[in-house]
Amino acid sequence: MKRTNDLLVGTVVLLVVLTLTGATFWVKQTDIGERRTKVVARFRDVGNARVGNAVVIRGVRAGTIEAIELARGGWVHMRMNLDRSMQLPATPVVLLNESSLFGEWQATITPRSALPHDETVQAQVEESSGGGEVLPGATLPDIAKLTAVAGQIAGDVANVAGRVEVAFDERAARELRSSIRNFADLSTTLSHTVRTHAGDLDTLSRGLQSAVASLNRTATSAELMASRIDSSSSSGQIRQMVDDMSHAAAELRRATVQVRVMSEQLSKTQGQLDAFLTNGDSVLVKLNTGQGSLGLLLNDPSLYRNGDSLLTQLRGLVTEVRKNPKKFVSVRLF
């Protein structure tokens, strides 16, 4: 009985211990007998990657993270167990990233050419390169960081929207509508101007065409004249013509000087006339506004009435003098 008990207890204990150990090894995917390839990568920061997380090559689970430990130079070395059948890509790089929204991380082994076009990641890989057998690694931002950045951006957008709401009130909207209307008027005017000047351009173009035709004709005439000059140069007529033209040019220069002097005098006269007109305008303004004695004289109706009354009295006085001069003129000798 005692031996039976011993056997039974021993069997149960061994069975449970072995099963539990085997199950633990199976769940942890422990590498018994070193049947896997070991790969080491280095990072500045491994984020939330943990021992036991998956290692993935082109989306296929290829092994697990076996150990994460601090190394010299501020590096973190991550040792990974890979299935022997798995082949690393050319120029492999290890990226640590979240595999889901629930905090799971994984190590992705990818060729350097397939790295995401992200400056931070590229910089991390460049920095961690050159470690010999140790693969370069980079850590992608986790969801929390991205969410934080997104939240910050959302806050900034909200601020901008708030400011726009403050700045773009009803008055600003009215002004904007007015500006749009002005711009429409301006564009209409410009269109009209363009149409108008298009006609002028047509006219100018036609003028240029006729000028070119005239030039052609002039060239023909000049050619004819040159042939005549050529034919007449032998008889001294050209010399005479040159002398005459020289004389005419001298006359023209003198006439030009006289015209310039006249022009200067005319300019001075114009200036004096402008000053006179300005003064006259000022005097007229003063007269009209009733400034000065003359202005008062012109603008005060009582003066006119007094003058008119005086004239009437003078006329009566003259009539009275004519009728009865002795009344007013008394000649006494003594």
Partner 1 sequence: MRWSPEAGYFGLPPFRYRAMTNASTVLPDAAIGAMRRVPTARALTTLGRATRHGLEAIGASVRFAARTIGAVRDVGTWGPAATLQMRRLGVDSVPIGVFIAVFTGIVLALLASYSFTGAVPTYFVGTLVEKTITMELAPVLTGLALAGRVGANIAAELGTMRVTEQIDALETLGYDPHAYLVVPRVLAGTIMFPVVVGAAMLTGVASGWLASIGLLDITSPDFVKGLRLFYSGFDVRYGLVKAASFGFVVTLIGSIRGLRASGGAEGVGRAATSAVVFSAILILVFDAFWAVTWLLGRRP
Q: x/- contact string, 70-109, with partner 1 (CB under 8 A)?
A: ------------------------------x-x-x-----
Contacts with 183 (C-beta within 8 Å, 6 or more apart), sequence order = none
The enclosing H or E element of 39 equals strand 36-43
Q: Does 50 bind partner 1 (CB under 8 A)?
A: yes
For partner 1, the closer of residues 104 and 230 by Cβ is 104
Pairing label, strands 36-43, 135-139? parallel
With b meaning 16 or more CB within 10 Å and e meaning fewer, what string describes 290-324?
A: eeeeebeeeeeeeeeeeeeeeeeeeeeeeeeeeee
Smaller CB distance to partner 1: residue 146 or 194?
A: 146
Paired tokens of 259: 């015209």
Q: Which of 10, 280 has the CB closer to partner 1?
A: 10
- Taking the C-alpha atoms of residue 55 and residue 88, their distance in angstroms, rounded to an integer, is 12
H-only helix segments in 40-142: 119-128
Does residue 330 bind partner 1 (CB under 8 A)?
no
Shortest reach from residue 102's CB to partner 1, in Å: 7
- Binding residue for partner 1, selected from 38, 45, 52, 264, defined by CB under 8 A: 52
Nearest distance in Å: CB 97, partner 1: 16
Total residues at interface with partner 1 (CB under 8 A): 21
* Whether 320 contacts 327, CB under 8 Å: yes
Question: What span, in angstroms and rounded, lies between the C-alpha atoms of 21 and 264?
Answer: 121
328 touches partner 1 (CB under 8 A): no
Q: Sketch the per residue contact string, 2 through 41, with partner 1: x for CB under 8 A, - otherwise.
A: x--xx-xx--xx--xx-xx--xx--xxx------------
Least CB distance to partner 1 at residue 170 (A): 44
Positions that interact with partner 1 (CB under 8 A): 2, 5-6, 8-9, 12-13, 16-17, 19-20, 23-24, 27-29, 50, 52, 100, 102, 104
